[in-house]
Amino acid sequence: MEIFEIFNILFTNPITNLLVGSYQLLNSTGIPHAFGLSIILLTIIIRLILYPLVSAQLKSAHKMQKVAPHLQAVKEQHKDDKKRQQEEIMRLYREHGVNPVAGCLPLIVQLPIIWSLYQVLITAVNVNSLTSLSKINSVLYFDFLKIDKVWSTDFFGVPLGKNPGDLMGTTPLIILVPVLTGVFQFILSKMMMPEVNPNLPQAPKKDKEDFQAAFQKQSLFLFPVMIGFFSFTLPVGLSLYWNTFTIFGILQQYILLGPGALAPLLKKINLHGEKK
């Protein structure tokens, strides 16, 4: 059995069944836009399945962020004694309850699921004939799940199989899709950064640290712009999935660790609201 086939059996096929099951459930109740809503429902189900893994990853990353200044101090203090440096670093990890590899395993497990979800949605939004639909039916576990007609990819007047670039001529407001995709990604990225307390004295940074800080700041804006661009060129159905995925991530981040580096902005908005 080939690796690709094993991957499909373990990940792609189960997700396909979840998508079709969600669609059949919504469609059977007469709910309009069942296909688009099934993408949202599927994404929420996947996020709930991944919730423990993502939580472990976020908490591990948060601990690493908190221990980072102490780690840098240890490296500087014992820069000429690598053995002592490693001993002190391990002691620091034990004191703060940090496992430097704890965040890797949850991420590794998530990647094939997220990739499979992407592949399933690419196939689903491009179904336009009974032939392409038969490929989906062939991997369904139960006969009652099988679809006998091509589903409508229309979602509140927007064809989920088209990309915003193609729709700009007839639907100018479709530009809001990639814009919101970028904005949601920026909010999540900002929240994942640690909040800096301006009242605490900041140690002078070296050239290497200055470069890292500048790179992190650029990435904060560059990554959302890239995601927004991809959203402009890929089917709207994928943006629907990605935005649901990101909004769920924002809520999970807030519940577990708070607003992070977004806190100062929220405080300013709150103060502005109170003055009014």
pLDDT at 196: 64
* Contact (Cβ atoms closer than 8 angstroms) between residue 69 and residue 204: no
Please give the model's pTM, rounded to 2 decimal places: 0.84
pLDDT at 46: 93
What residues are paired with 155 via a beta bridge? 158
Alpha helices in 10-167 (DSSP H): 13-28, 34-77, 82-96, 104-125, 130-137, 164-167
Which one-letter DSSP state was computed for residue 155?
E
Q: How many residues does the chain have?
A: 276
Distance CA 155, CA 201 (A): 52
Weakly modelled stretches of the chain, pLDDT under 70: 1, 102-103, 105, 196-216, 271-276
What separation in angstroms does the CA of 5 have from each of 8, 9, 123?
5, 6, 16
pLDDT at 69: 80
* Contact (Cβ atoms closer than 8 angstroms) between residue 113 and residue 11: yes
